[in-house]
Amino acid sequence: MPKIIPFKAVRPTRAIVGLVAARPYQSYTIDERESRMAYNPYSFLHIVNPGYKYDQEVTGEERYRLVKNRYLEFKEDGVFIQDEKPSFYVYKIVNRHGEEFSGIIAATSAEDYENDIIKKHEDTIAKREETFKSYLQTVGFNAEPVLLTYPDNAIIADIIKEVQKKHAEFEFTMTYRDTHYLWKIDNEKTIETIQSEFEKMKTVYIADGHHRSASSYLLYKDEKIKNPNHHGSESYNFFMSYLIPESDLVIHEFNRLIKDLNGLTKEEFLIKLDASYRIENRGIMPYKPTKPHHFSMYLDGEFYSLYLRKTAYDFNTALDQLDAQLLYKTILQSILGINDLRHDTRISYVNGQHEMITIKSGVDSGDYVVGFGMCPSNVQQMKQIADEGLTMPPKSTYILPKLRSGITIYEY
């Protein structure tokens, strides 16, 4: 029974919201970041990269303190304002491909994460969890919601459609031609209806933002212990999320590029593959698989199709059915000797929004020796893996929508 509550969001003013909104900090190259900050004084990047003001790289607690200072300056200068009444926020994104995502920004319960009502399907790294928890404790706000998905619900869908008939709080288009809209829900009856519908659900699932969820949970545990008057309604008991219906979620695959054949010749590698796969040479034209458990491979200037032999692999769990796991167990680990998908420098990933020609280019350039393409997984696979308490390999899914920082801010 997921618990969601309205909150008083801090938001950019309507006139400059498009200038403030930014992609996640790590998604920019250094040159991109510096260019945007040089020409746009309102960019949220000025907050999360505070050393730019002094042409100085800062890290750790010093950086966190400066982030907080830059944030407070944005508030003092009227770039950000805070809503006076706790609200839910209907948020819509229409991307350049015409894909549309509509959902509700709300505060979700850290206890629900603890009690597995908010379910995860990815492992997290303890060091990253602690780092972001310390960041949240120092800066006192979170500016990028966790992406959660819930079973399609007709009542919630009708509310969202009705809200979207009204004039939006803001509408703006980013340089990547994604258009963003936001509406506020502060009607108490409507809020209660939405909460009631979520309380009828058994679980919701993290689609993107596993480290942010885990760090928010650690923050909740820390602050609960430190507060002798803890009563459960403090802001640290919740974290900001964007909840969208399962039918709105779009999942792309991550394809793999490998730098060497683990000491094997091309012929030796193909012979080892033959034990688990029926191999067909597809020539020079890009080939993309269309069915689960089929893969494409680009090697030495040619594409191949790989069809799993029915007797070559045992399917015992939902994780076994996942193509990213299948590729890992039958090829990457057993033949190419790649055990650590997260840290091994021999492997790189290309999200499935890119055509197979990207795989071809990576190999033809000489940077890589072989590339693999696969079909994307689906929401049901993601849910089954989470329900069984299992976790996907790193870079199993590239999930849309991708959210922007600085559009709604949750203060602790």
Sequential DSSP letters for 187-207: -HHHHHHHHHHHHT-S-EEEE
Confidence of residue 97 (pLDDT cuts 50, 70, 90): confident
Q: What angle do CA 75, 81, 84 make, to 5 degrees?
A: 135
Spatial separation of the C-alpha atoms in residues 239 and 227, rounded to whole Å: 18
User: At residue 175, does pLDDT exceed 80?
Assistant: no
Q: What is the mean pLDDT of residues 127-138?
A: 95
Residue 199, token pair as written in the block: 């309380």
pLDDT in tens, 289-303: 999 999 999 999 999
Task: Count CB neighbours of 127 within 10 A.
Answer: 8
Nearest-5° Cα angle at 306, 300 to 311: 140
Tell me the pTM: 0.93
Bridge partners of 239? 108
pLDDT value of residue 353: 81
pLDDT beyond 90 at 314 = no
Per-residue pLDDT, 25: 84
Torsion over CA of 200, 203, 204 and 209, rounded to 10 degrees?
150
* Tens digit of each residue's pLDDT (9 = 90 or more) over 335-348: 999 999 988 999 99
Whether the per-residue pLDDT at 352 is higher than 90: the answer is no
Question: Average pLDDT of 300-325?
Answer: 93
Judge whether residue 394 has pLDDT over 80: yes
Grade residue 304 by pLDDT with cuts at 50, 70 and 90: very high
Within a 10 A sphere around the Cβ of 186, how many other Cβ atoms?
Answer: 15
Judge whether 410 and 105 are in contact, CB under 8 Å.
no
**Residue 325, pLDDT score:** 96
Contact indicator for 72, 47 with CB cutoff of 8 Å: no
Average pLDDT value over all residues in the chain: 95
Per-residue model confidence (pLDDT) at position 228: 92
Task: Give the mean pLDDT of 219-232.
Answer: 94
Q: Are 406 and 21 in contact (CB under 8 A)?
A: yes
> What per-residue confidence (pLDDT) applies to 277?
97
All domains in the chain, ordered by first residue: 4-250+400-411 (no CATH), 251-399 (3.30.1760)
84 CB burial (10 A radius; 0-12, 13-18, 19+):
exposed
Looking at the predicted structure, is the pLDDT value of residue 57 above 90? no
Q: Output the CA–CA distances (angstroms, integers) from residue 288 to 218, 271, 293, 368, in the order listed.
A: 42, 22, 12, 19
Considering only CA atoms, give the Rg of the chain: 23
User: Is the model's pLDDT at 390 over the cut of 80?
Assistant: yes
pLDDT exceeds cutoff 90 at 261: yes
Q: Helix (H) and strand (E) counts for the chain? A: 13, 21
- 311, pLDDT greater than 90: no
Distance CA 147, CA 78 (A): 28
Residue 26 has pLDDT above 90, yes or no: no
Whether the predicted pLDDT of 176 surpasses 80: no
pLDDT of residue 354: 81
Whether 56 shows a pLDDT value over 90: the answer reads: no
Query: Does residue 88 have a pLDDT over 90?
Result: yes
Amino acid at 110: A
Torsion region of 144: left, alpha or beta (phi above 0 gives left; psi -120 to 50 gives alpha):
beta
Residues with Cβ within 8 Å of residue 35, at least 6 apart in sequence: none
Q: What is the pLDDT of residue 124?
A: 87
